[in-house]
Structure 1
Amino acid sequence: MNVQTILSAKGSDVATIDPAATLADAVSTLRERGFGALVASADGTSLDGIVSERDIVRSLAVDGPAALDTTVSTVMSVEVITCRSSDRIESLMSMMTERRIRHLPVVDDGGAISGMISIGDVVKFRLQQLEQENSQLHDYIQGNVG
């Protein structure tokens, strides 16, 4: 199974924010969309960076409420680890665990944003796989294979 399998089920909606927007705007967008990270993109298709709830909290811890007036570009990660729709789920699990990443933008061959995968998406998908395998094994043991 690959990333496209997850995107087919959950959709390829990606929440983006302009790097020039304020952290207050980012907080508002995160709350409204119910996401844990936003892709920073000046044009809505290219990947300029990523800003997560964690990035915002760290900024607030250092600068207090004044941090909300700073721009996304001041706190976003610009060296973004991405994946492709053809990447296998198992490799994503390893990468996300080893690098302690919770969100991976999906990019196409031209580098355009085509989706976002979260660790929650990967876990949900993997649990569904395990439940299906368990059910199949149970049916096999019970002799319900037809």
Structure 2
Amino acid sequence: MRISDVLRSKGSGVATITPETSIAGLLTELSVHNIGAMVVVSQDGLLGIVSERDVVRGLHDRGAELLRCPVSEIMTTVVATCSPDDPVDSLSALMTHNRVRHVPVVVDGRLAGIVSIGDVVKTRMEELESEHEHLQAYITQG
């Protein structure tokens, strides 16, 4: 299965935020969209990604004053990305190796979607369920 199959199932919408947005504003957006990370963009394209984990670390280091700071102060700027043609298994390995839970999907330098670890797990569970059904059908027919 490929990343394009995951996007076809879940959609290609991506919640984005600008680097100037306050961290308090980021938390509002994460809550409104019920997500754990947002892609940071500008007119020039993808600049980074910021997650709940980044906020927690920042709050631990700097306290509540962090909430007034811009997202650019805590975002990750070296972002692991994938393409729609990549296999889901290679994305799983990328997520594990880089210890990330959200990976933007990029086509020709443009943001085309995002895949979370939850999407990967859901896809794998659907594959296993399908295999199980096929095996059950094979056994009962044989």
TM-score interval, normalised by the smaller of the two chains: over 0.9
Displacement after TM superposition at 1:48 (Å): 0.5
Structure-2 residue corresponding to 1:120: 118
Structure-2 residue corresponding to 1:12: 12
Once the two structures are superposed, the pairs formed by residues 1-146 of structure 1 within 5 Å of their partners are 1-43=1-43, 46-109=45-108, 111-143=109-141
Displacement after TM superposition at 1:95 (Å): 1.1
**Aligned-partner SS, 2:92:** helix
Q: How big is each residue's C-alpha offset from its partner over 1:26-45, in whole Å with a ceiling of 9 and x where there is no partner?
A: 000000001110000023x7
| Count of equivalent residues | 142
Normalising by structure 1, report the TM-score.
Answer: 0.94
Question: How far apart, CA to CA, are the structure 1 residues paired with 2:82 and 2:36?
Answer: 18
* Structure 1 residues not aligned, in runs of 5+: none
Q: Which runs of 4+ in 1 moved over 4 A?
A: none
My pick for the range that moved more, 90-99 or 126-135, is 90-99
Q: How big is each residue's C-alpha offset from its partner over 1:82-116, in whole Å with a ceiling of 9 and x where there is no partner?
A: 0001000110111111221100000002x110100
**Aligned-partner SS, 1:82:** coil
**Aligned-partner SS, 1:134:** helix
Question: How far apart, CA to CA, are the structure 1 residues paired with 2:119 and 2:50?
Answer: 18
Percent of residue pairs bearing the same amino acid type: 44
Q: How big is each residue's C-alpha offset from its partner over 1:61-96, in whole Å with a ceiling of 9 and x where there is no partner?
A: 111111000110010000001000100011011111
**Aligned-partner SS, 1:12:** coil
Question: How far apart, CA to CA, are the structure 2 residues paired with 1:96 and 1:81?
Answer: 8
Question: How far apart, CA to CA, are the structure 1 residues paired with 2:20 and 2:138?
Answer: 57
Displacement after TM superposition at 1:136 (Å): 0.2
**Aligned-partner SS, 2:112:** strand
Query: What is the Cα-based RMSD across aligned positions, in Å?
Result: 1.1
